[in-house]
Each structure stands twice: as C-alpha cells, then as structure tokens.
Chain A
Amino acid sequence: DAGVTQSPTHLIKTRGQQVTLRCSPKSGHDTVSWYQQALGQGPQFIFQYYEEEERQRGNFPDRFSGHQFPNYSSELNVNALLLGDSALYLCASSLREGASAFYGYTFGSGTRLTVV
C-alpha cells in the first residue's frame, strides 16, 4: 500500500519564477493538506483540499494556490517566488470522516524548494 508520494523531491528556482509541486495521497484518503516547513521549525499550515475545493487556509498570501483532482491528488502552486519561500513543502493526506480528520495524518517525504 503506497503512502503519500510527492514530486519532485528537490527543486531549485530563481526569484520571481513559478513552481508546481505534486502530491498523491495514501490509498483510501480523500483529504490533502499542504504544509511549509522551514529548517528547524514545525510545519506551517498552508491549506487543505477536500472534494476538489479549498476548505481551510492558513496565513499564506494568494501567491500560494492549489488544486485537487477527482482522484484526490493535489498540486501546490507558488507564483512570484521569494527567497523566503525556500523550505520543505509537505503534503499530508487524511480521511475526512470523523475524528480521524484531525489526527493520523500520513505525510509525504516532501519537496525541498530552494529559491536563489
């Protein structure tokens, strides 16, 4: 049973460019949350997708956008990249039903984004 798959694993972009990160959730999960993790910090909530809609959003600018597809996979897009966007971007999948919506997240290994 595959867990959460993220691609690419590493990425180097130039300031001002745009980037798309991809996530395939764990089999059976229907909800995808995206987190940004700076070095030595905890994951910061970006947004959550369920039924192809953004359901919740953290304190991130509109440069961060996303999408969820009918097969539950998801993309994170970041426009006009800044140096401060350099971080590990984690995708976490979960099942919306019941209390498991709040725990038991399965995380991918992340995409390490470096903006130069």
Chain B
Amino acid sequence: GQSLEQPSEVTAVEGAIVQINCTYQTSGFYGLSWYQQHDGGAPTFLSYNALDGLEETGRFSSFLSRSDSYGYLLLQELQMKDSASYFCAVGTGGFKTIFGAGTRLFVKA
C-alpha cells in the first residue's frame, strides 16, 4: 500500500525553529510537497521538492532525500499565525497526489 508518515503534533515557542518530518512509501514518486491548513480553512501550497536537497521560501524551507524516502519542512522565526496543520503530499503514478494525516503545530508565546 501507499503511506505517508508524519508526527501528529508538534509544539514550539514563538521565534523558535521547528522541523516536521515526513517519510513516505508510494508506488511512483513525482515529488514531495507541503501544504498548510488553518482550522476551517483550505489547504494552501507551501513548497515542493522534486530533487534531493533543500528548497527555501522565506521563513519556510523543505528538504528531500529520495534515497531515504524522507523529507522535512523547516519553519524558522515561528509566529503565532503559524499555528496550523501541515500536510506532506506525494505525487504518485497517474497524476495522483496523496496526503499524509497531517501534523498539528502549536506555537506558544
């Protein structure tokens, strides 16, 4: 079967750095992406990695290691508004993108 594993919850302090890990097992791999979803809102796209290495977009960075079937999202200079759920997602064969169960991030003052 296909699966994406990520921690269910992470708590961090405002201004800190937090890393959310994602391991995947899928049939076909066409990149790892990350989405943010606030309560009651729509998931919004954050970043995408098709190749190994680090991609940086402002305070957010995402990393991929295809040989380890592993990636992570790094959030720096945490702000209260970063409290949300974060989903990793993998593009699989046949133009299908599947999502992990999500990591709920709590940012404390």
Q: Show the binding face of A for B, using Cβ within 8 Å.
A: 4, 31, 33, 35, 40-45, 48, 50, 55-56, 58, 90, 92, 96, 99, 101-110
Contacts and interface: CB of A to CB of B under 8 A. Distances in A.
B50 interface: yes
Given A99-B50, A103-B31, A103-B45, A41 B91 contact: no
Interface residues of B, number: 24
Contacts of A44: 99
Interface of B: 4, 30-31, 33, 35, 41-45, 48, 50, 87, 89, 91, 94-102
Contacts, number: 72
28 contacts: A33-B97, A35-B99, A42-B87, A42-B101, A43-B43, A43-B99, A44-B99, A45-B97, A45-B98, A48-B95, A55-B94, A55-B95, A56-B96, A90-B42, A92-B43, A99-B30, A101-B95, A102-B33, A103-B33, A103-B89, A103-B91, A104-B45, A105-B35, A105-B45, A106-B45, A107-B42, A108-B42, A110-B42
Given A55-B94, A56-B94, A102-B91, A109 B100 contact: no
